[in-house]
Amino acid sequence: MNVDGHLLNVVDVEATCWEGQPPPGQVSEIIEIGLTVVDLRAGERLAKHRLLVRPARSEVSPFCTELTGLTQADVDQDLPFTEACRALAAKHHTDLIPWASWGDYDRNQFTRQCRHTGTQYPFNHRHTNVKAAFTTSYGLRRRPGMTQAPTVADLPLKGHHRGDDNAWNIAALVLDLMGRED
């Protein structure tokens, strides 16, 4: 892969969640990593990827399944978090390529989970909070959610609450922001 500064990895994660507080002993863990590779020079989304992750300290709740469509059975046979991070870094050169996400949730979730598991953080320090950049570029008073932003930018929303779909949508917003700079 040619990593010469014109690529961007756009990342979105889905994590275990509950309607209220987590059950005793459970914590929110990443269960899906969506990634879209963007060629900033060409102004296009190149590829959409999805990696399912087996949680170690939580289970997929019915609420989480309703939200994401993912079940415990979907993630039971997938990679543990540490192996998923290694695979992510190896396949997508996440230690070299800058990355972006909608807000800081994804970055913070990776930081927490890496710290807890002793896993090497899979990304480099060049992170863009697309939500903050979008809010500034559009002169908005409040930061819009992931479902509102495409409407503001007059872009279609393709799927929601799935990591790969959200990464694809966020990548479209990144390209929209680049077009606004011209």
End-to-end CA distance of the chain: 28
d(Cα 120, Cα 111) in Å, to the nearest integer? 9
What pLDDT is recorded for position 2? 45
Which amino acid is it at 69?
G
The domain in which residue 108 lies consists of: 7-181
What pLDDT is recorded for position 181? 75
128: domain CATH number is 3.30.420.10
What pLDDT is recorded for position 182? 61
The verdict on residue 2 lying in a domain is no
The verdict on residue 148 lying in a domain is yes
Domain count, the chain: 1
Return the number of other C-beta atoms located less than 10 Å from residue 152's C-beta: 14
- Residues with Cβ within 8 Å of 114's Cβ and at least 6 positions away in sequence, in order, are 85, 120, 121, 122
pLDDT in tens, the chain (182 residues): 445 579 999 999 999 999 999 999 999 999 999 999 999 999 999 999 999 999 999 999 999 999 999 999 999 999 999 999 999 999 999 999 999 999 999 999 999 999 999 999 999 999 999 999 999 999 999 999 988 999 999 999 988 789 999 999 999 999 999 988 76
Which amino acid is it at 104?
D
The verdict on residue 1 lying in a domain is no
The verdict on residue 65 lying in a domain is yes
